[in-house]
Amino acid sequence: MKPAQESAAPRNDWQTLRTLLPYLLQYKTRVIIAMVLLIAAKVANVGVPLVLKGIVDHLDGSKGPLVLPLALVGAYGLLRLCSSVFGEMRDAVFAKVTQGAIRRVALQVFDHLHALSLRFHLARQTGGMSRDIDRGSKGIAFLLNFTLFNILPTLVEIFLVAGVLLKKYDWYFAAITFGTIIIYIGFTLGVTEWRMVFRRTMNNMDSEASTRAVDSLLNYETVKYFGNERWESERYDKSLMKWEDAAVKNQVSLSFLNAGQAGIIALGVSALVGLAAQEVVTGKMTLGDLVLVNAFLLQLYAPLNFLGFIYREIKHSLADMEKMFSLLGQNAEVKDSPDAIALKAQRANVRFENVDFGYESNRQILHGVSFDVPAGHTVAVVGSSGAGKSTLSRLLYRFYDTNSGSISINQHDLRGLTQASLRDHIGIVPQDTVLFNDSIYYNIAYGKPTATRAEVIEAARSAHIYDFIMSLPEGFDTPVGERGLKLSGGEKQRVAIARTILKNPPILIFDEATSALDSKTERSIQAELKEISANRTTLVIAHRLSTIADADEILVMEGGRIVERGHHRALLAAGGAYARLWAMQQQHQDIDKPVDAI
């Protein structure tokens, strides 16, 4: 299967811009004010060469005695000041728009990722996806600032300058100016589009390298177990080599683009200055006119030269953003129906009725599974690996919807309940407890973020982990490390139990919660699980049969079907699949006992 984030169809630039537009419209007033300030700054900027022409003409000694034009000098300084001040005011007004858009886009992507199905997250590449979001957020800031404050101002200035040239001088001044601009823009667009394939390749290889690095570091111990540091380094370097190749091609093509742009501008400037100088020689233009044309050219072509860089970077930003926005295009597999209701129950009766399910269309996992977990009762599910036991818990949490059949709580089909209220009624102690890279207190309080410190401490006491926590130098503030790796398996399980106790749900799921623990720790935690499951609706998915002998009902699954059901003693007496599993496990326990214990 391809990674989920690679499966979306490529987006074009207009799609990306349309996706961004609603975030800007939230700040319409600020955008309008910024545009007014932008135009005012450009009008002042275009006025500077016109005043400079007047100053030069007043200081032309051939026309009479020299007089210092104080009014023009004052106007020159005022226009320059206005150009700078209006520009700074524009940036200050627009800062809220840029940062607000980045925040809202990032938040929406974050929320959307949490809304996507477990299927997406099982296939995702965390490192690459993280880089896509990071590059996309930076791309938004660049796109907004430089599109509105570099491309738009430059276009405004081009038209203002062209208007002045057409009004004051012969038409060919404006024609040469526009001709140069058109050639420049055409060359820039064509070469930049050709170069974009290198940028996209760089992004893909950067994400791939990041994915491999993060995956390798998360599995640090496994790498060490097998001595595969060199293998991991070579895999990482393969992605870096592809990135390097694309980066070199990107830089070489950039140099070609820069050289071509410089050549076009040099030709245009030379033609206009030469034409203006000829007009001065023939007496059709004054020195002030020559200074005016030259100032306009410097004023116009400098940002135009920068415009080439801006356009390239905008295209790069759009390429960076398209992957992030493509995440928003991923459809949530499981959604609340428009008329979904919130589940409110102190006691819960769970029913599976003729449930068929498969993760893939060509591989069915469950076949016609039906059973009840009455309120306050404990039902255990046993069977070999791959029998479909853990799938039951995923369906009860509604990480997936059934292919056929139904699952209900208090006669409410899960598909008619809001996901938030459903999951609020269920607590789970999984086989592999993964903790956040934060303190023990944070990880226990995660079961109920609004809980008081006293409630968190009481939950720790109930899970029999309080004394262990207080023996640590930092107590509840002790960091657990990434994925909780600083704690032992038993300690992590007790943290998981504590946060489930704190959540206090009416439905509990124990998904092979003790199978990875030693016998002594298992017996200790098993007693705690039995204590917290009292009077709650409990589904126990078990590997060791000795842990579920006192369940109200035991279901035996094989190949996604329930092949036996009943109480422990009745199932043993029946001599079927359960009895065979029991005998097999008892035999293993006898073999594993120390000699002096037999």
Quick check: 160 and 43 in contact, CB under 8 A? yes
Share of the chain above pLDDT 70, in %: 84
pLDDT in tens, 56-91: 776 665 555 555 577 878 887 888 888 888 888 888
| Strands laid side by side in the 350-357 sheet | 366-373, 350-357, 404-409, 412-413
Quick check: 443 and 436 in contact, CB under 8 A? yes
Per-residue pLDDT band at 303 (split at 50, 70, 90): low
- Domains of the chain by range and CATH? 4-328 (1.20.1560.10), 338-425+505-598 (3.40.50.300), 435-502 (no CATH)
3-state SS assignment for residue 409: strand
pLDDT in tens, 16-29: 667 677 777 778 88
As beta bridge partners, residue 539 has 379, 509
pLDDT in tens, 499-528: 888 988 999 988 876 655 566 666 766 777
Q: Which amino acid is at 433?
A: T
Residue 4's pLDDT is 40
How far is Cα 488 from Cα 433, in angstroms, rounded to an integer? Answer: 11
Residue 594's pLDDT is 44
Chain centroid to Cα 299, Å, comes to 41
pLDDT in tens, 117-139: 677 766 666 666 776 777 777 77
Residue 592's pLDDT is 47
How far is Cα 41 from Cα 372, in angstroms, rounded to an integer? Answer: 73
* DSSP states along 295-339: HHHHHHHHHHHHHHHHHHHHHHHHHHHHHHHHHHTSPPSS---TT
Closest CA relative to residue 179, chosen from 265, 263, 279, 293: 265
Which comes out higher in pLDDT, residue 586 or 424? 424
What tokens does 552 get? 């109200």
Residue 341's pLDDT is 92
Whole-angstrom CA distances from 82 to 49, 117, 303, 307, 378 are: 14, 54, 18, 23, 77
pLDDT in tens, 341-354: 998 888 889 999 99
The structure's pTM equals 0.63
3-state SS assignment for residue 406: strand
The CB-side HSE value for 301 (13 A sphere, CA atoms) comes to: 26
Quick check: 88 and 37 in contact, CB under 8 A? no
* CA torsion angle 102 104 107 111 (round to 10): -140
pLDDT in tens, 264-274: 888 887 888 78
Which comes out higher in pLDDT, residue 52 or 596? 52
What tokens does 558 get? 């094989």
Q: Is the dihedral of CA 65, 70, 71, 75 positive or negative?
A: positive
Share of the chain above pLDDT 90, in %: 12
